[in-house]
Amino acid sequence: MRYRPLGRTGRNVSEVSFGAWAIGGSWGTVSDDESMSALNAAVDCGVNFIDTADVYGDGRSERLIARLKRERKEEIVVATKAGRRLSPHTADGYNAANLTRFIEDSLRNLATDCLDLVQLHCPPPDVYYRPEVFGALDDLVKAGKTRYYGVSVERVEEGLKAIEFPNIQSVQIIFNCFRQRPSELFFREAKRRGVGILARVPLASGLLSGKLTRESRFAEDDHRNFNRHGEAFDVGETFSGVDYEVALAAVEKIRRLLPPATALARFALRWILMEDAVSCAIPGGKRAAQVRENCSASDLPPLDDETMRAIRSIYDAEIKPLVHQRW
């Protein structure tokens, strides 16, 4: 495993880290035993950074991570999120009282006195025009409730606006072979300001593992079933917002670029790591074997220019018209 700086925090994080949404909920049934073995496999592979949220399984994901931290001696940086408990989910809800309440809940779930990193959880865009929200986060840092704060965003423009606030340490954004726009301007700006980047949905919800087909079926409580058209939350979070059939055809084209004996998931993650503004990719993993495969992306050599150009051409021809200006 290789490590990269997380913005200005002074922390070095595993370039392939762990996304803990699926072990909380919304991805079909996952037993706690399976989740613990996935988490332990991650630490065995050198992962030292985990992304979670208070709402993943209503605290279940955070509690499993607390258990991991009790059972392992390695230092692990945990990033959680706040804001999605709001109902309705409005900019007004992002106030000091609510943020304090959400953070206190996460502190209890994660069994700690101080969070490592709290991210606003894809707030409404208006939040980025309310400096008082970031003032409230500064107060929470001063009060010792969290070391750092950042944001998780849907759109490039939200990321660009967020990094104007000087104490934002990280931005989490969808970045993968099917979501290439962040690398055009946003990453350059984030890097210039020393802001860490967490590349989420790196496997386009499993599509970029190459295992999904037209016949794949998903459980009722898997968002790949219930949010396929954005019924529950932003459609971009499910398959990166790319039409399923179009994505399957593009995956077949990407598959032709694979070096011998290389799994597509590793290749897709290695593509993300080509971008040096990225602090880490945070693939979700439900099983230890998936986690080991994902972590081994860090061992692959860099992709050559011809391969990078080929992936860009597939994106430009098949995917770009569907997603580029939407997020």
Ligand X SMILES: NC(=O)c1ccc[n+]([C@@H]2O[C@H](COP(=O)([O-])OP(=O)(O)OC[C@H]3O[C@@H](n4cnc5c(N)ncnc54)[C@H](OP(=O)(O)O)[C@@H]3O)[C@@H](O)[C@H]2O)c1
Check if the beta carbon of residue 74 is closer than 8 Å to that of residue 43: yes
Q: Which of 13, 16, 203, 314 binds ligand X (CB under 6 A)?
A: 203
CB nearer ligand X, residue 279 or residue 306: 279
Span near ligand X by CB under 6 A; candidates 91-99, 134-142, 199-207, 271-279: 199-207
- Among residues 143 and 219, whose Cβ is nearest to ligand X? 219
Tokens of 281: 């990719």
Please tell me the distance from the alpha carbon of residue 278 to that of residue 255, in angstroms, as a whole number. 24
- Amino acid occupying residue 174: I
What are φ and ψ of residue 299, in 5° steps?
-85, -10
CA–CA gap between residue 139 and residue 166 (Å, rounded): 14
Of residues 88 through 117, those in contact with ligand X by CB under 6 A are none
CB of 36 to ligand X, least distance (A): 15
In whole angstroms, the minimum distance from the beta carbon of 305 to ligand X comes to 26
Residues 111-170 that bind ligand X (CB under 6 A): 121-122, 152
Q: Where are the alpha helices (DSSP H) in 110-163?
A: 131-142, 156-162
The only residue of 197, 284, 288, 307 in contact with ligand X, by rule CB under 6 A: 284
Considering the complex, state which of residue 30 and residue 277 has its C-beta at the smaller distance from ligand X.
30
Strands 168-174, 77-82: parallel, antiparallel or unpaired by DSSP?
unpaired
15 touches ligand X (CB under 6 A): no
CA distance 8 to 118: 15
Q: Give the one residue of 39, 42, 118, 282 binding ligand X; rule: CB under 6 A.
A: 282
Instruction: Name which position in 77, 200, 295, 311 contacts ligand X (CB under 6 A).
Output: 200
Judged by CB, which is closer to ligand X: 57, or 285? 285
Pairing of β 18-19 and β 49-51: parallel
Say how far residue 258 (Cα) sits from the centre of its chain: 24
Burial of 47 (0-12, 13-18, 19+ CB in 10 A): buried
Q: Are 235 and 241 in contact (CB under 8 A)?
A: yes
If the CB atoms of residues 182 and 285 are measured against ligand X, the closer one turns out to be 285
- Classified as helix, coil or strand, 145 is coil
CB of 205 to ligand X, least distance (A): 5
* Binds ligand X (CB under 6 A): choice among 15, 51, 158, 318: 51
Which one of 21-29, 35-43, 131-139, 311-319 is the stretch in contact with ligand X (CB under 6 A)? Answer: 21-29
- Smallest separation, CB 110 to ligand X (Å): 14
Q: Which of 2, 108, 211, 326 binds ligand X (CB under 6 A)?
A: 211
Strand pairing of 280-281 and 196-200? parallel
Comparing CB distances to ligand X, the nearer of 57 and 202 is 202
The CA–CA distances, whole Å, from 263 to 102, 121, 209 equal: 39, 31, 7
Q: Kindly list the residues in this chain that would bind ligand X in the complex (CB under 6 A).
A: 19-22, 27, 51, 81, 121-122, 152, 172, 200-206, 209, 211, 237, 265, 282-286, 290, 293-294
